Structure 1
Amino acid sequence: MRSLARVERDGIAMVGNLDGRVAFGFTERTGGVSEPPYGSLNLGAHVGDDPAAVAENRRRVLAALDAVEYSCNLLVPNQVHGDEVAVVHTADAEELGHVRTQISEGADAIVCLASGVPVLLCFADCVPVVIIGEHGFAVVHSGWKGTYAGIAGKAARMLAGELSCDPATLKAYIGPHILGSEYEVSAELIDKFAELYPASVRPGSRLLDLSAAIRASLVEAGVGEQSVFDTGLSTLSGTDRFYSYRGEGGTCGRHGAVAVMRP
Structure 2
Amino acid sequence: MQEEKAGFITPRTFPEDGQVLALQSTRRGGVSPEPWRSLNLGNNTGDEPERVRRNMRLLSAAAGFDPLRTVGSVQVHGTEVLHARQPGRHEGYDAFITDTPDLWLCIFTADCLPVLFYDPEHRAVGAAHAGWQGTAGEIAAKTLDAMRRAFGTRPGACRAWIGTGISGGEYEVGEEVAGRFPERCSAPASGGKRLLDLAAANHLQLVRIGVCEEHIERSPYCSKRDDRLFYSYRRDNGQTGRMASVIGIRPRNPRS
Whether TM exceeds 0.5 here: the answer is yes
Note if contact 1:24-1:65 (Cα within 8 Å) is conserved in structure 2: no
Superposed, 1:16-55 pairs within 5 Å as 16=10, 20-55=18-53
Of residues 66, 80, 83, the one that matches 1:87 is 83
Shift of residue 44 of structure 1?
0.2
User: Residue 186 of structure 2 corresponds to which residue in structure 1?
Assistant: 201
User: Residue 104 of structure 2 corresponds to which residue in structure 1?
Assistant: 118
Shift of residue 203 of structure 1?
5.4
User: Residue 210 of structure 2 corresponds to which residue in structure 1?
Assistant: 222
The letter for the 1-side match of 2:8 is M
Superposed, 1:126-137 pairs within 5 Å as 126-134=112-120, 135-137=123-125
Of residues 1, 9, 12, the one that matches 1:15 is 9
Note if contact 1:77-1:106 (Cα within 8 Å) is conserved in structure 2: yes
Mean Cα deviation higher: 228-237 or 18-27: 18-27
Note if contact 1:131-1:172 (Cα within 8 Å) is conserved in structure 2: yes
Aligned-partner Cα distance in 1 for 2:92–2:176: 26
Shift of residue 104 of structure 1?
2.3
Query: Unmatched 5+ residue regions in structure 1?
Result: 1-9
Shift of residue 30 of structure 1?
0.7
Identity fraction in percent: 33
The letter for the 1-side match of 2:212 is G
Note if contact 2:107-2:246 (Cα within 8 Å) is conserved in structure 1: yes
Q: Cα deviation per residue 1:178-205 (whole Å; 9 max; x = unaligned)? A: 1011111012112222xxx233122576
Matched, 1:106 2:100: no
Greater fraction helix: 1
Shift of residue 72 of structure 1?
2.2
Q: TM-score, normalised by structure 1?
A: 0.86
Shift of residue 146 of structure 1?
0.1
Query: Unmatched 5+ residue regions in structure 2?
Result: 252-256
Note if contact 2:11-2:217 (Cα within 8 Å) is conserved in structure 1: no
- Coordinate RMSD, CA, aligned: 1.8
Note if contact 1:178-1:235 (Cα within 8 Å) is conserved in structure 2: yes
